[in-house]
Amino acid sequence: MQICILGKDKRNNYLKLFYQESISDMEQAEVIITPIPLSKDGIYVTGESLKWKDFISYVRLKKKILITGGITEEMKKELEGVCYHNIIEQEDLTWYNAIPTVEGAIQIALEQTEFTLHGASIGILGFGRIGKLLAHRLSGFGASIYCEARKEKDIAFIEAMGYNSIRLEALDYFLPNMDIIFNTIPYLILDGEKLKKVSKDCLIIDLASRPGGVDFKEAERLERKVLWELGLPARVAPKTAALYLKEAIDKIIC
């Protein structure tokens, strides 16, 4: 099966190497693999000069199989009638991608602070895949871990693992004491009122997909240090991320 891989980031470059015997141009390919997300700016295919709406029209017309990810609701509407796979919805891939995401997040925390993670008070907002893995990895540094969750089963799991659980309604009480906060929730949770309670010395690392979980304008006004770190797998471990992606793609096309 002939494959065309768009995008020029390091992950996609490795992916091209892994599929080098099957690589073709867009016209000859049966399968087209896009960057993730499909479009960062909402206009062009990421890393390409091709507008994403024109691209989808081409895929529909030529009846190509499309493998993509990071698509918006608007894109899903445009994709009606296209044989496409939203690759990042595959459960196994999301877990594998959590590994380089967490390693990259911890690397950033080490680089951007002037204290050890050992003994630090670290808040994790959201207790999904990334939240769980972050808590596990950070506990190995000797940090004091505080995990925010909504579901009772997650609260129970947090406490069973020896972490400190935080219910959303009690979050304001804990915020002033955090040295680092990792957010994994993809909607606004750290609004202006909550940011006021965060220490100016606290580092906030937002790992959530768009639109993120922090009021970035208010954080800037309040002089809170916030880093919005998207696409960490492709940035910190592109070779491994490409391997994970290839394994997921192979399940679709083989």
User: For 186-200, what is each residue's pLDDT tens digit?
Assistant: 999 999 999 999 999
Question: Are the C-beta atoms of residues 180 and 109 closer than 8 Å to each other?
Answer: yes
- Region of 195 please: left (phi>0), alpha (psi -120 to 50) or beta: alpha
Going from the N-terminus, what domains does the chain have, and what CATH number goes with each? 3-89 (no CATH), 98-234 (3.40.50.720)
pLDDT, average across residues 233-240: 95
pLDDT, average across residues 140-152: 96
CA dist 128 and 157 (Å) reads: 12
**pLDDT in the model for residue 7:** 93
The better pLDDT of the pair 138, 70 is held by 138
**pLDDT in the model for residue 133:** 97
Residue 5 predicted with pLDDT over 90? yes
**pLDDT in the model for residue 210:** 85
CA dist 102 and 16 (Å) reads: 25
Mean pLDDT, the chain, whole residue set: 96
What percent of the chain is predicted at pLDDT more than 90?
A: 95
pLDDT tens by residue, 42-61: 999 999 999 999 999 999 99
CA dist 1 and 254 (Å) reads: 9
Residue 22 predicted with pLDDT over 90? yes
pLDDT, average across residues 131-160: 97
What is the SS3 assignment for 121-156?
EEEEECCCHHHHHHHHHHHCCCCEEEEEECCHHHHH
**pLDDT in the model for residue 16:** 96
pLDDT tens by residue, 66-86: 999 989 999 999 999 999 999
CA dist 6 and 191 (Å) reads: 37
Where residue 254 falls among pLDDT bands split at 50, 70, 90?
A: confident
pLDDT tens by residue, 210-235: 889 999 999 999 999 999 999 899 99
pLDDT, average across residues 134-148: 97
